[in-house]
Structure 1
Amino acid sequence: MNNSFKIFSALFILLFLIGGVGIYLLIPKIGYINSSKVFSEFKLKKELETDLKKLELAKQRDLDSLKAELEISYNELNNSAKKSEKNINEFKVAQQQYYIREKQYNENYQRAADEYTQQVWKQLNTFIKEFGKKKGYDFVLGANGAGEIMYADENDDLTEEVLEYCNKRYDGDIK
């Protein structure tokens, strides 16, 4: 009986270990990233941000030039002893053209900014998916403090690792 008790105990311990390992294997591997940080420090985002700044500067130069012309016209019109209907209408047309161009520039800028943001997220999502697969994660969650994840253990924070991976992948250092 002593022998069968030992065999039974060994089988019980073996089954217990197999069950424990099985349960461990069923637990998904989960990590999270600070999505705002990954977005803001991604190299593609920084490059596109530089392009947007160039676009903004070009827009501002053109608008400043038009505004200066408007101010000159306004001052000439105000200082003129004879204010003709034609001069007043020409000023109003120029003023209206300025506002139309300003609105167009703002709309174009916003459209470009939105397209750039979509382009950055599309690329990041691809790289983060690759990262998760390569590292064996079942889930990589995004946290930004706005309700996606309100708390997670810092040991599960993949932000720096994911950011490094994405930037290296973008540079072509990782295939």
Structure 2
Amino acid sequence: MKYTLALSVLLFTSCEQQKIGFVDNSTLINDYQEKIDIEKKFQTKIDAFQKRTDSISKAFQLEAQEFQLNAGKLSQKKAQEQYEALGKKQQMLQQKIQFEEQQIQEQSQSEIDSLINKVKDYVKSYGETHGYTYILGSNEGGSVMFGKEENDLTDTILKELNDAYKTKK
């Protein structure tokens, strides 16, 4: 009797239908409006950074050209001092530019990482709410080689993510 009951429970649970869906990771992330907005925000920062960098570079080039024109009129010692000061200034400007560029990259990466975690959490919540046993992610590497179109949740989840994002804005 015990074995029959155990076998019945085993058969029942193994016959239980598992609900499996999948999402296209690239589409889900790249078409998410919040990611598009983050990219626009950082493109604006990058453009402003590039303008400042160009302006600083032009000003430094003018200063270097002026030094070259006037170097012949200066004593060797004075010319050497100004040359060294110009070299230090150039190095300082390069360090400042590299630091600012690194800051922009780190901020961008941090926001994208946060966004990816947010999407993962949303997919998990969606799966739990809609009774999925698994929601797989497909990508170029081929973690899902095939899936029936009716099991593709990408557009559904993307729409819900974008709708939720619009209401937050």
TM range (shorter): 0.7 to 0.9
Q: Is the 8 A contact 1:74 1:91 kept in 2?
A: yes
RMSD over aligned CA atoms reads: 2.4
2:124 is aligned with 1:129 = yes
Q: Distance in 2 between matches of 1:157 and 1:101?
A: 47
Matched residue type, 1:90:
A
Large movers: runs of 4+ above 3 Å:
21-25
- 2:59 corresponds to: 69
Q: Is the 8 A contact 1:127 1:169 kept in 2?
A: no
Q: Relative CO higher for 1 or 2, CA cutoff 8 Å, sep ≥ 6?
A: 2
Structure possessing the higher radius of gyration over alpha carbons: 1
Q: Where in structure 1 are there 5+ consecutive unaligned residues? A: 1-18
**Identity between Structure 1 and Structure 2 (%):** 20
Q: Is the 8 A contact 1:128 1:166 kept in 2?
A: no
Q: Where in structure 2 are there 5+ consecutive unaligned residues? A: 1-8
Matched residue type, 1:119:
S
Shift of 1:54: 2.1
More divergent stretch after superposition (75-84 vs 59-68): 75-84
What SS does the aligned partner of 1:37 have? Answer: helix
Change (3 A) 1:47 1:60: same
TM-score using structure 1 length:
0.78
2:30 is aligned with 1:28 = no
- 1:54 corresponds to: 44
2:73 is aligned with 1:82 = yes
- 1:117 corresponds to: 112
Matched residue type, 1:75:
Q
Change (3 A) 1:130 1:169: farther
TM-score using structure 2 length:
0.80
What SS does the aligned partner of 1:95 have? Answer: helix
